[in-house]
Amino acid sequence: MPVLSLGYLRLNVESVNQWKPFAGDFMGMMPVEGPLPNSLHYRIDHYPPRLVVTESTTSGLEAVGFEVLDRSDLRELVARVEATGTETHPGTAEECAVRQVSGFAAFDDPSGNRVELFYGPVLSHRPLELPHVSGFVTGDQGMGHVILNVVDTESAYEFYVGVLGFTERNSLKLPGGISYFLGCNARQHTLGLNPAEGPALMHFMLETSELDDLGKALDRAHDLEIPMMQSLGKHTNDQMLSFYSYSPEGHATEIGWGGIRIEGSTPTYRITEGAVWGHRYTPPPADAKGLPR
Ligand SMILES: [Fe+2]
């Protein structure tokens, strides 16, 4: 069985202090204690922290975690990855404890983005405390979606679709190549492949439960002076209402509401516009690292 959903994101950042207001006060995630030093851990549901940011001298994407069904599926998918000549690393007991999962394996995609396949998340039964957000849409749709920069979208496509079992939901022709939007559950896309120099995280998206959550996030962006990257708009593919902000690291974060669910298999298609309306772009602030320090 292919990958089930986006499970977690691990980011290396220049300063965790800049992420505290961003991830908690602005994005509305719940800060929790975690096992890693110099790190922030955030829950958005009963899963282990979906976002972990760690202070590091080299900032960037540490790993994208995708959930698989169980130990047997992990073994099967790792064998498929190794059959491509890709080296894989089984997670040690200590590394599993850090991630709060029962088992995982790590490897690099063809562009060098670190991927971790895991099973058996260790669940929290403590109620969520989300003062800013009524809830996030997760469950069978996972944490949200990520868009990764890939140097060669065709080899990335072969890897994620041909090996890991993602489905092409739609594509978009860009000046630099073709961007692919891939699904693995009812979320229209869980993974986007963006033709660009990489490896890097282009953006990640969290979907809120209510329209008012999205509106209040816009208010918080204004109040906290979070730099806006793309104004409120509606996407042509997942029909999501959303806006994009610059993270403290300068990459984009999307907060959305109202994405459609894709049930069963549907034919892929190519879009010619990213947005039905809105999503007007603003360049990075002069201090490209984003938030006020
Ligand atoms: Fe997105």
Distance 154 CA to ligand 1 centre (A): 20
Distance 93 CA to ligand 1 centre (A): 33
Contact 6, 144 (CB under 8 A): yes
Distance 112 CA to ligand 1 centre (A): 21
What is the per-residue pLDDT for 199? Answer: 74
Distance 278 CA to ligand 1 centre (A): 14
Distance 90 CA to ligand 1 centre (A): 30
Distance 146 CA to ligand 1 centre (A): 7
**CA 179 – CA 189 distance, rounded (Å):** 12
Question: 281: which 2 tokens?
Answer: 């772009």
Counts for the chain of helices (H) and strands (E), in that order? 5, 18
Distance 242 CA to ligand 1 centre (A): 8
Q: Which of 204, 287, 214, 218 is nearest to 256 (CA)?
A: 214
Question: 144: which 2 tokens?
Answer: 């949200």
Q: Which residues surround ligand 1, an ion (CB under 5 A)?
A: 205, 254
Distance 71 CA to ligand 1 centre (A): 30
Domain spanning 139-278 has what CATH number?
A: 3.10.180.10
Distance 202 CA to ligand 1 centre (A): 9
Identical fold for domains 5-121 and 139-278, yes or no, is: yes
Distance 228 CA to ligand 1 centre (A): 15
Query: Which CATH number does the domain 5-121 belong to among 3.40.190.10, 2.60.40.10, 3.40.1080.10, 3.10.180.10?
Result: 3.10.180.10
Residue burial 252-282, b: 16+ Cβ < 10 Å; e: rest: bbbbbbbbeebeeeeeeeeeeeebeeebeee
Query: 142's torsion region: left (phi>0), alpha (psi -120 to 50) or beta?
Result: left
Distance 37 CA to ligand 1 centre (A): 30
**CA 209 – CA 197 distance, rounded (Å):** 34
What is the per-residue pLDDT for 287? Answer: 58
Going from N- to C-terminal start, the domains of the chain cover: 5-121, 139-278
Which residue type sits at 9? L
**CA 260 – CA 106 distance, rounded (Å):** 31
Distance 192 CA to ligand 1 centre (A): 8
What is the per-residue pLDDT for 290? Answer: 42
pLDDT tens, per residue, the chain with 293 residues: 899 999 999 999 999 999 999 999 999 999 999 999 999 999 999 999 999 999 999 989 999 999 999 999 999 999 999 999 999 999 999 999 999 999 999 999 999 999 999 999 999 999 999 999 999 999 999 999 999 999 999 999 999 999 999 999 999 999 989 999 999 999 999 999 999 987 789 999 999 999 999 999 999 999 999 999 999 999 999 999 999 999 998 889 999 999 999 999 999 999 999 999 999 999 998 755 544 33
Q: Which of 127, 124, 91 is nearest to 10 (CA)?
A: 91
What is the per-residue pLDDT for 110? Answer: 95
